[in-house]
Amino acid sequence: MSNELVWNRPEPPSKPSPTPLSRELIVNAAIRLADEGGLDEVSLRKVAAALNAGPMRLYGYIETKDELLDLMVDEVYGEITPPDPSADWRTGLRHVAHAVRAAAKRHEWFIDLLGGRPHQGPNSLAHIEATLATVGFDDIDQALSAVGAVMAYVYGAVRNEITELRAERSTGMTEEQWQRANGPYMQRMLATGRFPMLAKVMYEGSDGDHARAFDDGLDYVLDGIAVRHGI
Amino acid sequence: MSNELVWNRPEPPSKPSPTPLSRELIVNAAIRLADEGGLDEVSLRKVAAALNAGPMRLYGYIETKDELLDLMVDEVYGEITPPDPSADWRTGLRHVAHAVRAAAKRHEWFIDLLGGRPHQGPNSLAHIEATLATVGFDDIDQALSAVGAVMAYVYGAVRNEITELRAERSTGMTEEQWQRANGPYMQRMLATGRFPMLAKVMYEGSDGDHARAFDDGLDYVLDGIAVRHGI
DNA sequence: GTATCGCTCGATACACTGTATCGCGAAGAG
DNA sequence: CTCTTCGCGATACAGTGTATCGAGCGATAC
């Protein structure tokens, strides 16, 4: 028995912890934070606080912050519905491309995490599996090549789109508007005459919608695959 | 705080100081650090230390760390030699694709920075200008579409390649080797039979070389452009 | 019922980040 | 020579991920 007065002693922690924890709860909390405030809002302290827990509590469920990010990525992969197995390769790949783009727009942080580390989570694997299955080429190397090219394009295109979106949001207007109206630096650069093509793009290019541009680029890749593989 | 971009602000005059400083010195020091030890080695303290200066000294030349990263990106763009203006669009785009890939392999951090923020530095602009010029389509929207698709593919493909490279380096063997020999998790996943295509890839796929895969994917895109634009 | 052990868990601590602040020292004016 | 001004950069701060280790619990032995 301690000689301290009651008021001096801390309350014993309620061992049945204030809130139960699980990987799912942690990942969902992290995803919500990231959706609302970007990846910067995802710190172990903030995630833990959102669950009424101390930071170190999380280390019982994850070994490192990167693992949490991996889990988040795999969770988003889980949201991506696989293509209809009976669809032809072109329809299937187009479905996958659109699904990935949609997921990335729901979770803008997704694309930032995508290329960073290899994705080996169960949902990621299932996603790759379904994608490979939908092309159904006999030659496995051909299938890999086609899928790889499509995914590379999708990745780059989505990344560009999200980046532009962020820039627009932070300035409050589209890139072209910004450069035309409020970009004195850009104005001056174009005025030097050293960038005639760029100037043409700024002044003559149609500010086309992104979905259309994405589809057009995707069609290049799909057409190319069809040509090379003679299908 | 000024709202101007870095490239719009003049450098401060060099003061009599233990070691003179300049944007170029700072950027070069940062690039060397990043080349040697990855982006994690680029902290303002470390960059400053490499130049025998205190951290806050740098804030006379840059306003924020992100600006330093922007300068680094633009510097790498400067290393990329533009395509021969007399080359046809296909040769020109291929040159650009290979040049970007080569630069990214020299500076592995480049790809991590690429999509993060819009690139408006002089070298970046010159690069886009030259790329647009090399396709030389009459229709500016067609040119943008083609260049955009190629750059998106290059971006995604290089990103995947670098990521795989890092994974290989950290484990000391190729991905296939790793998964075949030391990946008990992967083994178990494949053993479930839920990923037949993936298993086929692991066991039957040829561990092709990356340069070849890059070229193949690039050809898809270029072929697709040719088909769609009838050239 | 009591004493001891072992072990888990999470508060504290540490090294590090980017950058705001403001006291000091030097340059310039009279 | 004195006073003012002003810009530089050392110090300080709020934040990060995570190693450490003492407190507090349950189980075991008597």
pLDDT in tens, A152-177: 999 999 999 999 888 888 765 555 55
DSSP result, A146-196 = HHHHHHHHHHHHHHHHHHHHHHHHHHTS-HHHIIIII-HHHHHHHHTTS-H
Alpha carbons A48 and A187: distance in angstroms, whole number: 47
What is the per-residue pLDDT for A1? 42
**How many angstroms separate the first and last alpha carbons of chain B?**
51
Angstrom distance, A10 CA to C1 C1': 27
Nucleotides of D under 7 A from a protein CB: 8-12, 15-20, 24-26
Residue A152 phi, psi (nearest 5)? -60, -45
Q: Are residues B67 and B95 in the same domain?
A: no
Question: What pLDDT score does B230 carry?
Answer: 85
Q: Give, in Å, how far the C1' of C4 lies from the CA of B141.
A: 81
| A180, pLDDT greater than 80 | no
pLDDT given at position B8: 64
Numbers of helices and strands, H then E, in chain B: 11, 0
CATH code for the domain in which residue A37 is found: 1.10.10.60
User: Chain A: nearest CA to B4, how far in angstroms?
Assistant: 8
A213 and A120, same domain (yes or no): yes
Residue B9 domain-assigned?
no
Let me know whether B170 and B222 are in one domain: yes
State residue A190's pLDDT score: 84
pLDDT digits 0-9 by tens, B140-196: 999 999 999 999 999 999 999 999 888 888 765 555 555 555 567 777 888 888 888
**Is B17 a domain residue?**
no
Residues A115 and A225 in one domain: yes
- Best probe of the B interface among A140, A153, A170, A195, by most B CBs < 10 A, is A153
First CA to last CA across chain A, in angstroms? 83
**Which tokens is B217 given?**
């994917």
Please give the residue range of the domain that contains residue A147: 78-229
- Measured to protein CB atoms, the chain C nucleotides within 7 Å are 9-13, 16-21, 27
The burial class, CB within 10 Å (0-12 / 13-18 / 19+), for B226 is middle
Residues A138 and A62: their CA atoms lie apart, in Å, by 40
pTM given for the model? 0.89
pLDDT value at position A224?
97
Is residue B220 in some structural domain?
yes
Whether B92 and B165 map to the same domain: the answer is yes
Which has the closest alpha carbon to B128: B102, B151, B107, B112?
A: B151
For residue A136, give the amino acid letter: G
Report the distance from CA of residue A97 to the C1' of nucleotide D20 in Å, as an integer.
Answer: 47
Residue B84 sits in the same domain as residue B175: yes
Residues of chain B with pLDDT under 70: 1-19, 171-183, 207
Query: Gap from B120 CA to C16 C1', in Å?
Result: 31
A146 and B220: CB-CB below 8 Å? yes
Q: Reduced to 3 DSSP states, what percent helix, strand and coil does chain B have, rounded to the nearest 5? A: 70, 0, 30
What are the pLDDT digits (tens) for A101-129? 999 999 999 999 998 777 888 999 999 99
**D23 C1': nearest CA residue:** A12
Residue-averaged pLDDT of chain A: 87
CA neighbor of A219 nearest in space, from B9, B142, B208, B47: B142
pLDDT band at A2 (very low <50, low <70, confident <90, very high): very low
Same domain, B62 and B134: no
Q: Could you tell me if residue A203 is inside a domain? A: yes
A52 touches strand C (CB under 7 A): no
Please state whether A62 falls in left (phi above 0), alpha (psi between -120 and 50) or beta.
Answer: beta
Looking at residue A39, its pLDDT comes to 96
Determine, for residues B153 and A152 on separate chains, whether the beta-carbon distance falls below 8 Å.
yes
What CATH number corresponds to the domain at position B195?
Answer: 1.10.357.10
Helix (H) or strand (E) holding B179: none
Tell me if B170 sits within 8 A of A172, measured CB to CB: no
User: Which protein residue lies nearest to nucleotide D25, measured between its Cα and the C1' atom?
Assistant: A15
Q: Look at residue B1 and tell me if it is in a domain.
A: no
A70 in Cβ contact with A26 (< 8 Å): no
Q: Does residue B14 fall inside a structural domain? A: no
Looking at B54, B73, B92, the residue that finishes a domain is B73
pLDDT of residue B198: 87
Q: What is the pLDDT of residue B201?
A: 84
Distance from CA of A199 to the nearest CA of B (A): 9
- Number of domains present in the structure of chain B: 2
Closest CA to A110 of A141, A72, A139: A72
User: Residues A127, A56: one domain?
Assistant: no
Nearest CA in chain A to B125: A195
CB B119 within 8 A of CB B74: yes
Nearest CA in chain B to A199: B129
Q: Is residue B107 part of a domain?
A: yes
Q: Are residues B209 and B164 in the same domain?
A: yes
Instruction: Return all residues near B15 (Cβ < 8 A) that are at least 6 apart.
Output: none
Residues A211, A111: one domain? yes
Q: How far is A1 from chain B (nearest CA, A)?
A: 50
Question: Which of A106, A42, A51, A41 lies closest to A77, judged by CA?
Answer: A106
Count the residues in chain A.
Answer: 231
Q: Do A122 and B189 touch (CB under 8 A)?
A: yes
A45-52 mean pLDDT: 92
> Could you tell me if A64 and A86 lie in one domain?
no
Mean pLDDT confidence for A189-205? 85
CA separation for the pair B26, B71 (Å, rounded): 10
Note whether residue A6 is domain-resident.
Answer: no
Chain B residues touching residue A204 (CB < 8 angstroms): 140
Q: What is the pLDDT of residue B2?
A: 45
> Same structural domain for residues A124 and A213?
yes
